[in-house]
């Protein structure tokens, strides 16, 4: 759906599946200084009143820096304004530890996998 390339040759890819008001966005690649703006824009485009839930599937995200955390915070605010519930699922242990040490699980609900995130209600 949205694709961007940074100069290190590593890509950030967002592929959204929308079904009955539920969006599952598969994110692959790195969310760093060079890709965070495109990440934010790509996800924000999915926020709409008819989308009750937007679950970010982070299984394919192997790196998030503070620029990525900044984008996540801005997205969490935008989701609230759009009346969408944003969740993140499937983070690898390295990315998850960055979320935990910065207390970001209080900014956005984090789940082990997409199914658990979806079952946690809207």
Partner 1 sequence: MQVVEHLELSADAQALACGLSRLNDLAEKLSSLFELPGTWTYATQLVLEEVFTNIVHYGQVGPADPIIVDVRVEDGFLEVLICDRGISFNPFADTPEPDRTSGVDERPVGGLGVFLVKELVHSYVYERVGSQNKLTLRMAIDS
Task: Give me the residues that bind partner 1 (CB under 8 A), please.
Answer: 6-9, 32-34, 62-63, 65-67, 69-70, 73-74, 76-77, 80, 93-94, 98, 101-103, 106-108
CA atoms of 78 and 73, how far apart (whole Å):
9
Q: What are phi and psi of 44, to 5 degrees?
A: -60, -30
Q: Output 7 or 121, the one with its CB closest to partner 1.
A: 7
Q: Which DSSP letter does residue 105 get?
A: G
Q: Output 15 or 102, the one with its CB closest to partner 1.
A: 102
Least Å distance, CB 66 to partner 1, is: 4
Both structure tokens of 120: 């946690």
Least Å distance, CB 63 to partner 1, is: 6
Least Å distance, CB 120 to partner 1, is: 17
Least Å distance, CB 2 to partner 1, is: 18
Sheet with 22-31, side-by-side order of all strands: 2-5, 11-19, 22-31, 53-64, 85-89, 110-111
């Amino acid at each position: 759906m949205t694709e961007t390339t940074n100069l290190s040759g590593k890509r950030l890819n967002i592929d959204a599946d929308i079904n009955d008001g539920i969006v599952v966005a598969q994110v692959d690649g790195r969310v760093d200084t060079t890709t965070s703006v495109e990440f934010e824009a790509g996800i924000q485009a999915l926020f709409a009143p008819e989308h009750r839930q937007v679950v970010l599937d982070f299984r394919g995200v192997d790196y998030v820096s503070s620029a990525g955390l900044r984008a996540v915070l801005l997205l969490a605010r935008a989701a609230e304004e759009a009346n969408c519930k944003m969740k993140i699922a499937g983070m690898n242990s390295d990315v998850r530890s960055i979320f935990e040490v910065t207390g970001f699980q209080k900014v956005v609900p984090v789940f082990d996998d997409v199914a658990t995130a979806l079952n946690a209600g809207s």
